[in-house]
Amino acid sequence: MADGHHEEQSLDTLYRDVLFEHYRHPHNKGELAGAEIVTRGNNPVCGDKVVVYGKLDDAGRLERVCFDGKGCAICMASSSMMTDAVRGKSLDEAAALTDRFKRMMRDEVPFEVPAEVPDLEALAGVKKFPVRVKCATLAWTTLRNGIVAYRAGQRGAETSESCET
Ligand code: ZN
């Protein structure tokens, strides 16, 4: 058990590397032409701003999700991971995943990473910094709001990651 501390340190380093890799080389970043879902998100606490785009296939599944915007490393990395996590999912599945991710980040449910997005584990450490949790959840909340707006027949909704959500 004497090495426990060292092991924890190296895990932290590993997760930080995963996080910065997404930050430096984000997946699915940029405007997505022809997207049915276009939603803006704003985290005024940190200054993070994202736009989330979702394009649906004929079966109504998320064929592709992209994001654009500016923010801190946690926000950009989490946005990148979100676009991978929801790809190919139905709107119901994507909404359920965004809800679960947010509850995991708020420590309301155990942090269990879906097998298809192992990189999400890198965000578990952010739970220790409550002020940064919104950085991690912003893109997920934004997509969630975009799905709601799409179903209500709206496009281009604007939302904030407020204290309540
Ligand atoms: Zn941030």
Distance CA 29, CA 79 (A): 9
What is the whole-number distance in angstroms between the Cα of residue 154 and the centre of ligand 1? 27
Residue 105 · residue 126 · CB < 8 Å: yes
What is the whole-number distance in angstroms between the Cα of residue 55 and the centre of ligand 1? 26
Q: In the predicted model, what is the mean pLDDT of residues 35-54?
A: 96
Distance CA 152, CA 144 (A): 13
126-150 pLDDT tens trace? 998 889 999 999 999 999 999 999 9
What is the whole-number distance in angstroms between the Cα of residue 73 and the centre of ligand 1? 7
Residue 116 burial (CB count, 10 A) = 11
Q: Residue 11 has what pLDDT?
A: 66
List of E strands, 113-165: 157-160
- Six token digits for residue 91: 């709107």
Q: Residue 23 has what pLDDT?
A: 96
| Maximum CA extent, the chain | 58
What is the whole-number distance in angstroms between the Cα of residue 70 and the centre of ligand 1? 9
69 forms beta bridges with 50
70-116 pLDDT tens trace? 999 999 999 999 999 999 999 999 999 999 999 999 999 999 998 88
What is the whole-number distance in angstroms between the Cα of residue 80 and the centre of ligand 1? 14
Distance CA 94, CA 111 (A): 17
Distance CA 68, CA 136 (A): 15
7-25 pLDDT tens trace? 556 767 778 899 999 999 9
- Six token digits for residue 127: 């739970």
Closest residue by Cα to residue 37 from 70, 62, 68:
62
What is the whole-number distance in angstroms between the Cα of residue 45 and the centre of ligand 1? 8
What is the whole-number distance in angstroms between the Cα of residue 152 and the centre of ligand 1? 29
What is the whole-number distance in angstroms between the Cα of residue 130 and the centre of ligand 1? 11
Residue 141 · residue 160 · CB < 8 Å: no
Q: Residue 88 has what pLDDT?
A: 97
What is the whole-number distance in angstroms between the Cα of residue 117 and the centre of ligand 1? 21
What is the whole-number distance in angstroms between the Cα of residue 135 and the centre of ligand 1? 4
Give the Å distances, CA to CA, from 152 to 12, 87, 109, 138, 145: 42, 21, 29, 21, 10
Residue 71 · residue 134 · CB < 8 Å: no
What is the whole-number distance in angstroms between the Cα of residue 8 and the centre of ligand 1? 24
